[in-house]
Amino acid sequence: MSWIILIIYLVMFSIILIASPVNSDEALLNKYKDRKNVLLQIVLRFIVIATITAIIIIANYLIGKNIQKTLDILLPLMIILQSQLAVALITDVVAHRIDRNINRLGYISTVLLSILYLSTYNIENTRYLVILITSIEIVTLILFFVITSIGTADFRILLAINPISIAIFSEYLCFSIAINLMAAAIYQFVIQKKEGNRKLSVPIGHILLLAMLIQVVLKVVI
């Protein structure tokens, strides 16, 4: 089931990415010249991120570590995070925009895989955790309309990564969520300090995704 979700995700992701109007953003075109180069840069970053992740997992296996049996769900999750991160590294960093449909596809897919993870591996308090996922998603959606100082793409990314923290890191839930938020806050502070502007708008979506991806990779190899 997890691979079916991943295949559907990848097909829809590819279609949305190719057609996305964000790829024609003036800031992106100024840096990468045309839409084809924007797409190429996203693909290249995805390949690099996926390659690094694969090397870490394979190296861990070769030195005698056991691969987590949950890899059948964690691997699709990692691929989704990698693709979302690749997009954010280009469109969010350069143009401060991420296609909303790519974000939506991301959080719908991670929610489904997170619930599948809970039901497949009979995690203790599964029903409670599913309710918690639902509750946090609703609260995040409410905050989306209340808080204006955080970018809409960042909220959608939180919708994607919070269910992963709840499902996979339930024993360390607060710690997992705190790592993501602290990484983003530190990055924002460093960039604002460097630019000498505490009110500077700093894209943090890629940092949130990277922090979550690192946690999932560590879950696999440790």
pTM of this structure: 0.92
Kindly state the tokens that stand for 195. 């630019």
Q: How far apart are CA 182 and CA 186, in angstroms?
A: 6
pLDDT averaged over every residue in the chain: 90
pLDDT digits (tens, 9 = 90+) for 168-221: 988 888 899 999 999 999 999 999 999 888 888 889 999 999 999 999 999 888
Residue 124 reports pLDDT greater than 90: no
Q: What's the domain range around 128?
A: 2-221
Residues 6+ apart with CB under 8 A from 5: 76, 109, 112, 113, 116
Kindly state the tokens that stand for 123. 């995690």
**pLDDT-based confidence at residue 75 (cuts at 50, 70, 90):** very high
Domain count, the chain: 1
